[in-house]
């Protein structure tokens, strides 16, 4: 079993446990991209918190692309990894 297949299966199970539809591969990739930017440009522990905040915003009606973009825009582009602005 490949890591991607395991991830997809786990996400489907987690979504079902929360009575949600499983995220598409495209949505999963987009969130992981933002989380990676946050982890490397802000601080590693900020990454899951950023994903949480994006999810809360989307759950409250925000556009997913706009929510991801708003968080990604806060990542400093010139700070050393691990240093907050």
| pLDDT at 59 (0 to 100) | 96
- The CB density around residue 11, as the number of other CB atoms within 10 Å, is 16
| pLDDT at 81 (0 to 100) | 54
pLDDT in tens, 33-81: 999 999 999 999 999 999 999 999 999 999 999 999 999 999 998 755 5
- The CB density around residue 25, as the number of other CB atoms within 10 Å, is 12
Cα–Cα distance for residue pair 14/69, rounded to 1 Å? 25
Q: Once rounded to an integer, what is the mean pLDDT over residues 26-36?
A: 97
| All structural domains of the chain with their residue ranges | 23-76
State yes or no: pLDDT of 22 exceeds 80.
yes
pTM for the predicted model, two decimal places = 0.82
Cα–Cα distance for residue pair 11/1, rounded to 1 Å? 15
Cα–Cα distance for residue pair 62/39, rounded to 1 Å? 23
Closest CA to 24 of 11, 38, 10: 11
| pLDDT at 62 (0 to 100) | 98
């Amino acid at each position: 079993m490949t890591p991607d297949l395991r991830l997809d299966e786990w996400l489907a199970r987690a979504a079902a446990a929360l009575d949600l539809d499983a995220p598409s591969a495209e949505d999963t990739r987009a969130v992981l991209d933002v989380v990676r930017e946050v982890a490397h440009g802000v601080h590693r522990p900020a990454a899951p918190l950023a994903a949480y905040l994006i999810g809360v915003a989307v759950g409250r009606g925000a556009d997913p692309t706009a929510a991801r973009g708003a968080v990604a825009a806060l990542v400093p582009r010139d700070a050393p990894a691990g240093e907050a602005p």
